[in-house]
Amino acid sequence: MTQTHIHTEAELDAALAALSRADPRFAALLAAAGRPPLRRRPDGFAGLAAIIVAQQLSTASANAIWGRLAAAFDPLEPAAILRARATRLARIGLSAAKIRALKEIARAVSRGKLALATLPELPADAAHAALTAVHGIGPWTADIYLLSCLGHADAWPAGDLALQEAVRVAFALPARPSSKEMQALAEPWRPWRAVAARVLWTYYRAAAAEAAKKSARSGAQKSDSIEDKRKGPC
């Protein structure tokens, strides 16, 4: 039986081996950048809310707002968000759009329209559809929740800009692929698309770090050359 969720390091290792057999290019990426971390976020309403809060923010800003939200509503449950005044949520740092999204999600969970507890039992595409049926949950949010909170092995955040750029760099593409192109590219990696995403993110971070080091070395060499010219012949 195919592993549908990845909860342990052993399951991640097995999935990485299966992905590398399906597409040997991933073996090369793993050799170059190393094994991706398992990294899991909390699931449920709080886990989904954390993803909404972090959208389009720096890590520092997202952490600060989330810290205030979690402190103000402990535990962070749908009923508490539904009761909260928009002005109070705005003082915490949430935008009007994020306040609307959180309230819509809380309403859907409270009314049984979104059964977060049973999402892990669904295939990735069906779970994605259940999430995006709720106003305020877009495709990216749904995919990140499935991948990082539920550990779904086949979630694929095709609209993630960092993942798109990772694919471009890893496979030497002439341009960053669109969300539609990302879907087609990842079809051969089913049912391990989430594992592919983890490998690609890890590779991209390693490649970016190496590029930064090269740039720093190049800048240092240019600086030395300029200084030598200033000094003139000895």
For 49-89, write each residue's pLDDT tens digit: 999 999 888 889 999 999 999 999 999 999 999 999 999 99
Same fold, 1-37+153-228 and 44-149: no
Euclidean distance between CA atoms 130 and 137, whole angstroms: 10
| Percent with pLDDT over 90 in the chain | 79
| Percent with pLDDT over 70 in the chain | 90
pLDDT confidence tier of residue 2, bands split at 50, 70 and 90: low
Q: Which two tokens stand for residue 4?
A: 């549908």
Among 175, 176, 200, smallest CA distance to 28 is for 200
- Identity of residue 95: S
Q: Is-contact 152 146, C-beta < 8 A?
A: yes
Euclidean distance between CA atoms 146 and 185, whole angstroms: 20
Among 142, 160, 124, smallest CA distance to 5 is for 124
Q: Is-contact 33 47, C-beta < 8 A?
A: no
Measured torsion, CA atoms of residues 115, 117, 120, 125, in degrees rounded to the nearest 10: 10
Q: What average pLDDT does this structure show over 194-217?
A: 87
Among all chains, which residue has been given the structure tokens 């991706």?
36
Which pLDDT score, from 0 to 100, does residue 225 have? 53
Taking the domains of the chain in order of start, what are their residue ranges?
A: 1-37+153-228, 44-149
Across the chain, mean pLDDT equals 90
**CATH class of the region 1-37+153-228:** mainly alpha
Which pLDDT score, from 0 to 100, does residue 134 have? 96
User: Cα Rg for the chain, rounded, in angstroms?
Assistant: 22
Among 4-8, 152-156, 209-213, name the one with the lowest average pLDDT. 209-213
**CATH class of the region 44-149:** mainly alpha
